[in-house]
Amino acid sequence: MGWMNINNAEKFKKIADGWFEFKCHQIRMPCFCSGRDLILTHGFIKKKDDFPASEIKHAELIKAEHETKNTATKQYSNRGKQK
């Protein structure tokens, strides 16, 4: 996976199991892997060193919505392939 070759720990790092963050100054963007894609959930201004639990919960809600839509799309596209 191409995005796994990001080697700048100052701009990209793992924050939790399955979760990463891109950062630019105080702006943080949580992200996760979906197949071969890296999905950015949202951005926020981080003022302390630790990653706020409320932002992880927000990112998890966005991830769940993404997975629900992705599953529905796959089911719809597989309809015509069934015999």
* Dist CA 24 CA 74 (whole Å): 34
pLDDT digits (tens, 9 = 90+) for 6-20: 778 788 888 888 899
> Please, is 66 exposed, middle or buried when counting C-beta atoms within 10 Å of its C-beta (0-12, 13-18, 19+)?
middle
Domains of the chain by residue range: 2-78
> What would the mean pLDDT of 33-52 be, rounded to a whole number?
87
pTM of the complete model: 0.70
pLDDT band for position 52 (cuts 50, 70, 90):
confident
CA nearest 55: which of 29, 17, 24?
29
